[in-house]
Copies of this chain bind each other. A is one copy, B any other.
Amino acid sequence: MSNLEDVAKAAGVSRSTVSRVMNNEGYVSAATRARVLEAVEQLHYIPNHAARTLVTQRSNVIGVVMPSANVFFGDNSYFPMLLQGIAEAANPRDISMILWLGQANEDPEHFSQRITRNRLCDGLIIASIGYDDPLIPRLVDNVPYFVMVERPVQFHDRISYVTCDNVKGGQMATEHLIRNGRKRIAHITGRLDLADGQDRLVGYRTALERAGMAYDPDLVVEGQFSYESGYYAMKNLLAQNFDAVFIPSDTAARGAIRALEEAKLRIPDDVAIVGFDDLEDAARTNPALTTIRQPVQQKGAAALTLLLDLIDGKVENPYQVILPLQLVIRQSCGANLSQPMQNQGGVASNR
């Protein structure tokens, strides 16, 4: 492997000049620059990342931390989409991305050690799902710069994060069902130890309140975001009398639909459904899901931008970014049946 010195010799200049060319620093004549670039080409010179990092104290590598359970969280395209979003913001800035995945059954202490005993990254993005991961206090103490995706339940006043307006999302979903004449609207909640689950429930209650509708605790079943959870929560709900349900993820909605099918209930005629996420699953249910779209890629991109701004001192910790959500109307809510929308059927891809 050639180094700066080799290139300098080949171009008949000094190491410093080659460095200036490589870093586009100016103060190099056009002729010299050309000669240097030619030598670089000829020798296949590539700057040594370690040497650069050593002197600049900046690696241009950021870490993405993902506890094991979260990788397979809810709709499985969540995690890839988030990474894609981070990458799209990182690439143009020449930032590389180290991935820290938790292992199944790995001690949080061990996991955090792996991450912190390794000053390899300039900062971290914690792709948490918003719960009180035991990792968080450890990171607060040991990592100078980090950003969370999703709001943690605790520490949220000391931590920088990016999240969506989940209260508003729950409200939008519920209001849409109200607008369409549903009278007994149920809610399968998300995990209530997570900020997301809590907030969406608050949104649901807010919508009912604003419409002057009574809050009936029997119509609220605590669930999670998974397919299985949706299935069993709906089984429980079937004892009640209801004509609509707001479900905290599209994947859970798939499970719930399965339970409704088994109970011979028709969607949306007997039960209208609004889901949440609008990732892979939403357009593939039968009928296609009305849902609240989460801008997952934007979340990733925003997290990266925020992290770099923190590192560069452009913003001060804690700094929070809250992204808007969007109602996507398809068939499961019973609205707009007269004017079906294009490309929102059950089979077309939603990407």
Give A residues with C-beta under 8 Å from B.
Answer: 1, 46, 48-54, 59, 61, 64, 68, 71-72, 75-77, 79-80, 83-84, 87-88, 91, 96-101, 103, 114, 116-120, 226-228, 231-232, 254-255, 258, 261, 280, 284, 286, 346-349, 351
Give Cα A327 to B124, complex, Å. 41
Min CB distance A281 to B, Å, is 9
Tell which of B80, B118, B347 touches A71, judged by Cβ atoms closer than 8 Å.
B80
Give Cα A46 to B121, complex, Å. 13
Q: Which residues of B contact A87 (CB under 8 A)?
A: 99, 101, 103
Please list 15 pairs of residues, one from A and one from B, whose beta carbons are closer than 8 Å in the complex, sorted by A's number: A1-B119, A48-B54, A49-B53, A50-B53, A51-B54, A61-B120, A76-B280, A96-B98, A97-B99, A99-B99, A227-B349, A231-B347, A258-B284, A258-B286, A261-B286
Give Cα A187 to B54, complex, Å. 57
Give Cα A120 to B98, complex, Å. 11
Min CB distance A256 to B, Å, is 11
Give Cα A226 to B347, complex, Å. 11
Give Cα A295 to B16, complex, Å. 52
Q: Which residues of B contact A79 (CB under 8 A)?
A: 80
Judge whether B98 and A347 touch: CB under 8 Å.
no
Judge whether B59 and A84 touch: CB under 8 Å.
no
Judge whether A71 and B83 touch: CB under 8 Å.
yes
Min CB distance A145 to B, Å, is 14
Judge whether B117 and A46 touch: CB under 8 Å.
yes
Judge whether A91 and B71 touch: CB under 8 Å.
no
Given contacts A96-B118, A103-B87, contact A284 B46 (CB under 8 A): no
Tell which of B59, B98, B231, B284 touches A254, judged by Cβ atoms closer than 8 Å.
B284
Give Cα A118 to B1, complex, Å. 13
Judge whether B119 and A48 touch: CB under 8 Å.
yes
Min CB distance A78 to B, Å, is 9
Give Cα A28 to B49, complex, Å. 32
Known: A48-B119, A99-B99. 15 other contacts (CB 8 A): A1-B119, A46-B117, A49-B119, A49-B120, A50-B53, A72-B351, A76-B280, A80-B80, A84-B103, A87-B101, A96-B118, A97-B99, A227-B284, A228-B349, A255-B284
